[in-house]
Amino acid sequence: MAILGSTTKSPPAALQKILGLMELKDKHDVQFVSSAYELARRAHRGQKRYSGEPYLNHLVATAEYLAKIGMGPTIVAAGLLHDTLEDTSVTEEEITEQLSVDVCELVQGVTKLGHVRYHGMQRHTESLRKLFAATSQDVRVMLIKLADRLHNARTLEHVPNQEKRERIAHETLEIYAPIADRLGMGLMKRELEDAVFPYAYPEAYERVLAIFKDEGGDDLRRLEHIHNNVRRKIAEYGVKNFKTKNRVKGLYSLYRKLERKDWDPSKIYDIWALRIIVDSITDCYTVLGIVHGEWRPLYGRLKDYIASPKPNGYKSIHTNVHTGEGDSIEIQIRTREMHKEAQLGIASHFSYKAQVQKHSTGAVSWIRQFIPVRIWMEGQGRTSTGETRHTYTNEETPEWIKHISDPKQVGSEDPHVFLQDMKSDFFSHRVFVYTPRGDVIDLPVDSSPIDFAYAIHSDIGNHMGGAKVNGKMASLDTHLHNGDIVEIMTNQKSHPTQKWLDLAKTTLAKRHIRSYLQKDTA
């Protein structure tokens, strides 16, 4: 079969950039991505964006981002073609024939997502259900959709209608950025938020920007001073192969924190932070000891997400130390692998560059808890080069995606209730609490022991007789906080009451309580 866009002449600059970002070594993979580019170029010829630029620019930008975060030929090719089925005359058969079954299925998955709209609550919730249903079938579809949304967010200034700009901005903040967060994709989350913040809340954006300029300069000066001293001390103690980086807080993240702190910048300790990246977990704790030996830590500000990772897989040590100038600064300590996963989350486990190593070592522990997938080499069937690609199988999706996509789980027919439950249960601020055995339970902020009990098992919730929080008896209306250790005491004579509905926060708990009460009165 002839290869589209093969090596008879130099590839276009846009294609060269994608291939360069991917660092492809195999000529068949180069031809595979080149075929996808050429098909996209021909299919979208003559189409323009609001900016007046060729529509191909959007597809290239989507593919560039996927390549930049380490995605392989199949996902990048699908990124180039993600709009072809919806916006051109290209057929599924053409994509399958010229590329592969797997690319076609990914493009189909992105197409099925449709367009999330706020115009009409019923239509909006139906679109959201499709979004999560498609993701539950193949998480790679969401990676492509997020890259697509990011470029659209970055080019919002070209959308002529203000109402549409605001709608896209709010969709991004309320749906796509939280999804990226739940998938552990910290870099994507921040980029989405900061791209649309000025359009969603323009007045708040200007206010936060002014605060950042006023406060950030002093923080940066203190950070640079500590930065140099930290590097010197770490080297003195013999820690090798470490890197240090300054981290600036995203403006939208700063806005959300300022809201929680009554707009008092003096209560925020992490506008700027210092990241220390080392080779091993042992080095992480060695560096923590060095830092605390040289600078006095703030009481209650040490967070060890290595010993107790967040449910989305995030691992790092966070500590705040006094600078000696009457102020403090945050220091984050992690390994290189932890840093990659903190930035890319689940995407790091589809990394083309690390595929061979991952097949030989297996998935890391957190991914088996979060989304146990068997990732062979990308692709399925035969490519246009005639090479046989190995299969990808998505054996299990994240529990929260299954929950949202299953009408039996989030079963409200009222679209307003569905949307509110989704935001409350899955996209709100989270607290991470523990069972006595040390298992992490991920709950929305303001959750109660009732929510905790039902998150463990419905039988435990239905027979909860009391709860201990951090070893002390606690009332059922207690709001749980990060790091709380919760123990549920059961009694076969105990059962839910109507009052529990007011105390429960999660849809899961409320659904089980209502079910029990209905059976009890039947």
Catalytic residue ranges: 86-87
Residue with tokens 């486990």: 349
Torsion angles phi and psi, residue 234, rounded to 5:
-60, -40
Query: Residue 231's Cα: distance from chain center in Å?
Result: 31
Q: At what angle do helices 139-154 and 186-200 cross, to 10 degrees?
A: 40
- Both tokens of 257, joined, read 């924190």
Classified as helix, coil or strand, 264 is coil
Measured from the Cβ of residue 219, the count of other Cβ atoms closer than 10 Å reads 25
| Sign of the torsion angle spanned by Cα atoms 351, 357, 360, 364 | negative
Q: How do strand 328-335 and strand 430-434 relate by DSSP bridges?
A: unpaired
Element at 101 (helix H, strand E): helix 101-112
Can you tell me the distance from the alpha carbon of 38 to that of 310, in angstroms, rounded to the nearest whole number?
42
Element at 467 (helix H, strand E): strand 464-469
Which residues, listed in sequence order, are joined to residue 322 by a DSSP beta bridge? Answer: 328
Query: Which residues neighbour 318 within 8 Å (Cβ) at sequence distance 6 or greater?
Result: 301, 302, 303, 305, 330, 331, 332
